[in-house]
């Protein structure tokens, strides 16, 4: 698996699929049982210190020094990364503002909300301006609003940083990533862009039709022509390998149903995941 400079790659998989283990190996926190990886040319087995010089990590747990302030947390990591104290202070102050934590800069972080802690955790991964950033489940446990805000921020880093992100949220991987590696039982089951994976999984088309006046007779006629038909209230879901949009909607119209709207259903990442691993991704 290669990750290009400036790319955001998401490792997608359920708990226990090996996402965090992969990140821990790449961050030189865990020794691989076999094999190796190179980060900007540095071997993770032989040049751990060089690797650590070019990476920033936001671990899965919101691991912060709870009795330090946000500024102190950032300054600590900056200094451990070899940034001179005056620069560490300036960068920390700037990053605190960028992450929207300016007003609480003097508070100990144990008083922060989950979302604030996550933002600070990501800031700590970015403090020394590393070329490569590892974000392990960056939005785990956040409410939808906080998650969306964090996505926006991570998306703003795309192209500027090379990011490896782990998640078990389909939507997150779909929204953020350039490429997705689907992990299953410690192995990469599939690798490609979100669209690639969806297209690869698509072995049939589905047309969704919202219509009035779908009588039992009309439904029988439709089911007689198309083998895979589902009805939910006024919505019909018709699937098939060779499904022509115009021909299908014309036929439904001919049964006396009044069509309000109709569209092709896009294949979802969830469908792709199910197809690739044979399992549903539950969190």
Residues forming contacts to another protein in the complex (CB under 8 A) are 24, 27-31, 48-49, 52-53, 55, 57, 59-61, 63-68, 72, 75-77, 79-82, 108, 124
Phi-psi region of 232 (alpha: psi -120 to 50; beta: other; left: phi over 0): beta
- Nearest CA among 117, 72, 71, 115 for reference residue 94: 71
CB of 7 to another protein, least distance (A): 21
Handedness of CA 168, 170, 171, 175 (dihedral sign): positive
DSSP string computed for 184-220: ETTEEEEEE-HHHHHHHH-SSEEEEEEEE---HHHHH
Nearest approach, Cβ of residue 82 and another protein (Å): 7
Q: Give the Cα separation of 108 and 103 in Å (integer).
A: 12
Q: Which helix (H) or strand (E) holds 173?
A: helix 170-176
Nearer to another protein, 64 or 101 (CB): 64
Shortest Å distance, C-beta 14 to another protein = 20
Closest residue by Cα to residue 62 from 122, 15, 7: 122
Nearest residue (CB) to another protein, 75 versus 174: 75
Q: Which CB atom, from 118 or from 198, has the smaller least distance to another protein?
A: 118
Cα–Cα distance, 202 to 228 (Å, whole number): 15
Q: Count of CB atoms within 10 A of residue 193's CB? A: 12
**Judged by CB, which is closer to another protein: 17, or 24?**
24
Nearest-approach distance from CB 196 to another protein, in angstroms: 31
* Shortest reach from residue 51's CB to another protein, in Å: 9
Cβ proximity to another protein, 140 vs 190, nearer residue: 140
Minimum CB distance to another protein smaller for 34 or for 241: 34
Residues in the chain: 283
Closer to another protein by CB, 53 or 234: give it: 53
Name the DSSP letter for residue 157: H
Q: What is the rounded CA–CA span in Å between residue 121 and residue 259?
A: 51
Q: Least distance (Å) from another protein to the CB of residue 189?
A: 27
Tell me the closest approach of the beta carbon of residue 45 to another protein, in angstroms.
Answer: 10
């Amino acid at each position: 698996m290669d990750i290009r400079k400036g790319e955001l790659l998401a490792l997608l998989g359920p708990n226990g699929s090996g996402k965090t283990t992969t990140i821990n190996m790449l961050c030189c926190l865990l020794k691989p049982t076999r094999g190796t990886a190179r980060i900007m040319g540095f071997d993770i087995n032989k040049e751990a210190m060089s690797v650590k010089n070019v990476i920033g990590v936001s671990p899965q747990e919101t691991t912060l020094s709870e009795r330090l302030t946000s500024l102190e947390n950032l300054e600590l990591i900056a200094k451990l990364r070899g940034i001179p104290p005056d620069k560490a202070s300036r960068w920390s102050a700037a990053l605190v503002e960028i992450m929207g934590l300016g007003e609480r800069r003097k508070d100990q972080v144990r008083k922060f909300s989950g979302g604030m802690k996550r933002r600070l955790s990501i800031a700590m991964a970015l403090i020394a301006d590393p070329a490569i950033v590892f974000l392990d489940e960056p939005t785990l446990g956040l409410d939808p609003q906080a998650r969306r805000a964090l996505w926006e921020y991570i998306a703003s880093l795309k192209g500027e940083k090379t990011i490896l992100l782990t998640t078990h949220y389909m939507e997150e991987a779909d929204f953020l990533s350039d490429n997705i590696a689907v992990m299953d039982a410690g192995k990469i089951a599939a690798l490609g862009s979100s669209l690639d994976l969806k297209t690869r999984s698509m072995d049939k088309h589905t047309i969704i039709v919202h219509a009035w006046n779908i009588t039992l007779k009309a439904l029988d006629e439709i089911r007689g022509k198309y083998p895979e038909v589902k009805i939910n209230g006024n919505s019909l879901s018709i699937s098939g390998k060779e499904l022509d949009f115009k021909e299908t909607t014309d036929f439904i119209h001919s049964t006396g149903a009044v069509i309000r709207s109709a569209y092709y259903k896009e294949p979802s990442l969830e469908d792709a995941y199910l197809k690739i691993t044979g399992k549903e991704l539950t969190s």
